[in-house]
Copies of this chain bind each other. A is one copy, B any other.
Amino acid sequence: MIQFITLIGSGNVAHNLGLAFREAGLEVLEVVSKNIANAEILAQKLNAKPNNDLSKINQESDLYVVASSDNSIAKIASQLNVRDKLLVHTSGSIDIAELNIASIRVGSFYPLQTFTKSHRTDFQKIPICIESNDPQATRELEQLGKKISNRIIHMSSIQRQKLHLAAVFVSNFANYMQVIGQDLCEEQGIEFNLLKPLIKEVFDKNQLKSARENQTGPAMRKDSFVMEKHLQLLKNDPSLQELYNNISALIQGDFS
């Protein structure tokens, strides 16, 4: 069973995960970060030891969690050696095999959510996707996950990667559609708040039926008359025109 944990990383995910572990009665022994000041801030909150030297990492933990940016995971793994201790990352996009240079027992512990340090996340409803190359480790990760979340899902690396990509579309890209809407309103001195009931209606409808069933709009009904007017309104912004055409063509192709 996992009781003692080492966190490698001190960013948003490490922060939220560390606090959730601690509240679930687990012990974070050490927080490792290149930047010792950041390690200290989080270590203090978790009553853990700060460390900025991967070569001197403790060997007493049951689990080592690499909760750092995706593009630093390979480098961290190359500097790390925890032998046969369980080593996981929290990344949506990295294959667990990339950790094998540092341990023979590897896996992922990927909480599907966007994190900020300032806003504490309630883990109970956050799906945690787990994977391991070792059946016993998988069970341990599942037990660990259940201590902080009601939703533990077993997932292969390719599934997790596609899920992460899907998350970019439904959260980051969908959010950016609102940024564009905000800009278009502000440019005309219109309060963006006017669009809030519409945004809420889309959100509410998608709780009842699928987004596919709820798709509406000029592209969906192949209303080239309105689409032409919209492109005219965007004539001073060719990149937005391109985006408008691009999404409209996808919708039309999809629903034809």
Which residues of A are at the interface with B, using a C-beta cutoff of 8 A?
Answer: 69-71, 93, 112-114, 119, 121, 125-127, 151, 153, 155, 158-159, 161-182, 184-185, 187-190, 192, 194-203, 205-207, 210-212, 214-220, 223, 225-226, 229-230, 233-234, 239-240, 242-243, 246-247, 249-251, 253-254
Contacts A230-B93, A247-B243; is A184 near B169 (CB within 8 Å)?
Answer: yes
Q: How many copies does the complex hold?
A: 2
| Shortest Cβ gap from A69 to chain B (Å) | 7
Q: Which residues of B contact A178 (CB under 8 A)?
A: 169-170, 174, 206, 211
A195 touches B167 (CB 8 A): yes
How many angstroms from the CA of A211 to the CA of B70 in the assembled complex?
A: 24
Question: A236 to chain B: closest CB distance in Å?
Answer: 12
CB <8 Å contact, B202 and A114: yes
A206 to B118, CA, bound (A): 15
Selected contact of A233 from candidates B165, B180, B216, B239, CB within 8 Å: B165
Asked if A170 contacts B177 (CB within 8 A), the reply is yes
16 pairs, CB–CB < 8 Å, chain A vs chain B:
A70-B226, A71-B223, A162-B185, A162-B190, A163-B185, A168-B230, A169-B180, A170-B177, A171-B199, A171-B202, A172-B251, A175-B206, A176-B211, A182-B212, A192-B210, A239-B253
- The CB with the most chain B CB atoms within 10 A, among A153, A161, A162, A216, is that of A162
Q: Contacts A155-B190, A162-B187, A218-B168 given: A179-B212 contact, CB under 8 Å?
A: yes
Q: Are B188 and A159 in contact, CB atoms less than 8 angstroms apart?
A: yes
Distance between Cα atoms of A114 and B182 in the complex (Å) = 18
Among candidates B170, B203, B247, residue contacting A181 with C-beta atoms closer than 8 Å = B170
